[in-house]
Amino acid sequence: MSTPLEELFVKAKSENRALLIGYMPAGFPTQDGAIEVLKAMIEGGVDAIEIGYPYSDPVMDGPVIQAAADQSLRNGTGAAQVFQTVEAIAPLAPTVVMTYWNPIERYGVDQFLAKLKEVGGSGVITPDLTIEESEGWIASSDSHHTNRIYVVAPSTNDDRLRKVSSAASGFLYAASLMGVTGTRTAVSSSAKDLVTRIRHVSELPVAVGLGVSNADQVREVAQYADGVIVGSAFIRLVQESSSVAEGVAKVRDLAKELSGGLQRS
């Protein structure tokens, strides 16, 4: 049984284009504001959504996302708000949750997956969960027909890429460089090398994230990856806006600009 996310990757491949995947933490800038911003992303051309579960001790997030997560936590965001956000967005676009492992374990693995399925989520990205610690997660996510998305980096060797990709589903999240999330002036050349190495060991779709922030970068990454992930660029627009409405308008405009670069030449 395919998830909406898997079906979308198949559709995009038939159209010879990459997907644009947008990231936003639940509860930022407010609970309702996050839903408005995510809807604006989709209206602007974002194909799939990553909803961040805000966490107090992130290992992968740069300062822009950390600041947004801190604000979300001050707003009282927890599992209930994350699932409410998924429920509002999943009917509009395939939606996954990006979360560190601790909140899943605290909620209860099977309970978390059952609730995610109930509200229409397609999968979960777990940046700090290793393959060695995944036995229970693999069994539970299989039973709930939920995509299991792992993060790999340029430092991941070919043997480990093979192990990770064999355990993953939906897509592989290829971090474009060693470091944390954030906008950058150029996408690291290591991103293309990493995607090439993944292609040698897996047929899973590959989406590239970390540092993609403008249309030229999207156009570049779309030539070799199946998906392009943008987070900090959207969040920064909201942070710099004087109102939620202003942030929503800016996010919609950026999504329109970015989505114009997805077609492969």
What is the three-class DSSP state of 168? coil
Mean pLDDT of 55-78: 84
CA atoms of 230 and 173, how far apart (whole Å): 12
Q: For residue range 134-174, what is the model confidence (pLDDT) as tens digits?
A: 999 999 999 999 999 999 999 999 999 999 999 999 999 99
Per annotation, catalytic residue among 50, 57, 226, 257: 50
Is residue 1 very low, low, confident or very high in pLDDT (cuts 50, 70, 90)? Answer: confident
In angstroms, the CA 228 to CA 210 distance is 10
193 in catalytic set: no
Statement: residue 179 has pLDDT above 70: no
248 with 40: CB under 8 angstroms?
Answer: yes
- C-alpha 71/C-alpha 173 separation (Å) is 26
Query: CB count, 10 Å around CB of 119?
Result: 18
**pLDDT in the model for residue 180:** 43
**Model confidence at 89: pLDDT above 60:** yes
Q: What is the 3-state secondary structure (H, E, C) of 189-223?
A: HHHHHHHHHHHHHCCCCEEEECCCCCHHHHHHHHC
Residues 91 and 93: their CA atoms lie apart, in Å, by: 6
- Write out the DSSP string of 66-126: HHHHHHHHHTT--HHHHHHHHHHHTTTS-EEEE--HHHHHHH-HHHHHHHHHHTT--EEE-
Residue whose pair of structure tokens reads 């909803």 in the numeric block: 51
* pLDDT value of position 183: 43
Helix (H, G, I), strand (E, B) or coil at 60: coil
pLDDT of residue 55: 86
What is the pLDDT of the chain when averaged over all its residues? 93
Share of the chain above pLDDT 70, in %: 94
Tokens of 147: 């995509």
Residue 188: what pLDDT?
Answer: 56
Domain spanning 4-259: CATH 3.30.465.10: no
DSSP 132: G
Cα–Cα distance for residue pair 179/202, rounded to 1 Å: 24
Catalytic residue check, 253: no
Residues in the chain: 265
| pLDDT category of residue 189 using cuts at 50, 70 and 90 | confident
pLDDT band at residue 63 using 50, 70 and 90 as cut-offs: confident
- Who wins on pLDDT, 27 or 189? 27
pLDDT of 38 higher than 90: yes
**Would you state the pLDDT for residue 124?**
98
Catalytically annotated residue among 6, 47, 61, 220: 61
- Give pLDDT, residue 41: 98
For residue range 226-248, list pLDDT tens digits in order.
999 999 999 999 999 999 999 99
Separation CA 98–CA 132 (nearest Å): 19
